[in-house]
Chain A
Amino acid sequence: MDVEAARMIGAGLAVIALCGVGIGIGNIFSTLVSAVARNPEARKEVFSIGILGFALTEAVALFALLIAFLILFK
């Protein structure tokens, strides 16, 4: 196989990790919504924790994206 083609495939494979991240972020926000719906007064505190969780989960997505970019653009 051509090295160039292998690089493209490798970059594509690297971003499969985004599937897990998508599930994770969806999970965080669905829980956030139900938590706020159950107890609207806790919105302020729950929201900041939710955003923190979002940032930590999103970092995983960016690790995968970074690897893909590093493979693509040498």
Chain B
Amino acid sequence: MESPLHQFVVKELIPLHVAGYNISFTNSALFMFLVVVGVTLLFFLGMRKSTLVPGRLQSIVELCFEFVDNMIDENIGEKGKPFFPFVLSLFLFILFGNLLGMLPYSFTFTSQIILTFSLAAMVFLLVTLVGIIRHGVKFLTYFMPEGAPLFFMPLLIPIELISYLSRPVSLSIRLFANMMAGHTMMKVFALFTIALGVGGISTIAVNVLLIGFEFLVAFLQAYVFSVLTCLYLKDAIHLH
């Protein structure tokens, strides 16, 4: 029987080696490509003939749009508007990647730590740059909690610094671990059902429940990733 971790193997579809680097077109790249094309097509087709009373596709587009717009309004406020395109594309990329990974025989690219870490590093760099550009040297006061007594500073500043630097790590590991553990769990329970033979019919209900749960997790993790991005941006913009 195949190992439940077999589904995460990155396969080279079109081998491509340039100057000692392996830049092959993999199944991971294929699914990322599908998501980007799919989301772009959805937005293009949905908004091609925009009407006051939205049709089906336009409703989907407006739903995504308003969801992220509300998220930014609630978490950052008026100053967060310039970051709307960034958060929207981040949210849709992760959400559609997670959902596409739920199809049988597809590949979940969000279960690759290198991808989630790249996304988290992007967020981290953006947040740091925004903080430095908006506040200059004053950004360093971010690491000094307001109102704390001065003699606590040697203790508090390293703690704040470590918690700031661990953000990309926790952000990337959260998404990666959720997707990977979830998909492995589904496979393990499915193998269990097969191993039971005819008696496996009784456990199919559990499999169905798990798939429902995985859909919830797929949405929730995309939401959590973008909400945390918003919260980090708020910290950088407002400084506490």
Contact = CB atoms under 8 A, between A and B. Distances in A.
Given A51-B220, A52-B227, A65-B185, A59 B4 contact: no
Given A59-B174, A63-B173, A69 B181 contact: yes
B5 interface: yes
Nearest to B220: A55
A33 to B, nearest CB: 19
Given A69-B5, A69-B184, A73-B5, A55 B177 contact: no
B67 to A, nearest CB: 11
Interface in A34-68: 51-52, 55-56, 58-59, 62-63, 65-66
Interface in B189-219: 217
A62 B3 contact: no
Given A52-B227, A62-B177, A66-B181, A73 B4 contact: yes
Interface residues of A, number: 14
Contacts of B227: 52
B69 to A, nearest CB: 15
Interface residues of B, number: 19
B58 interface: no
A70 B181 CA distance: 9
A73 B4 CA distance: 7
A69 B181 CA distance: 8
A47 B5 CA distance: 35
B185 to A, nearest CB: 7
B182 interface: yes
B183 to A, nearest CB: 10
B210 to A, nearest CB: 13
Nearest to A62: B181
A65 B181 contact: yes
A43 to B, nearest CB: 16
Contact of A66 (B180, B188, B217, B224): B180
Q: Which of B181, B182, B185, B223 has the most CB of A within 10 A?
A: B181
A51 B221 CA distance: 11
B38 to A, nearest CB: 25
A62 B178 contact: yes
Contacts of B221: 55
B108 to A, nearest CB: 14
Interface of A: 51-52, 55-56, 58-59, 62-63, 65-66, 69-70, 73-74
Given A65-B185, A73-B5, 9 more contacts: A55-B224, A59-B177, A62-B181, A63-B177, A66-B177, A66-B184, A69-B180, A69-B188, A73-B4
Report the 6 A-B pairs with minimum CB-CB distance, sorted nearest first: A62-B181, A66-B181, A65-B181, A59-B174, A66-B177, A55-B220
Interface of B: 3-5, 173-174, 177-178, 180-182, 184-185, 188, 217, 220-221, 223-224, 227
7 contacts: A51-B220, A58-B178, A63-B173, A65-B181, A66-B184, A69-B184, A69-B185
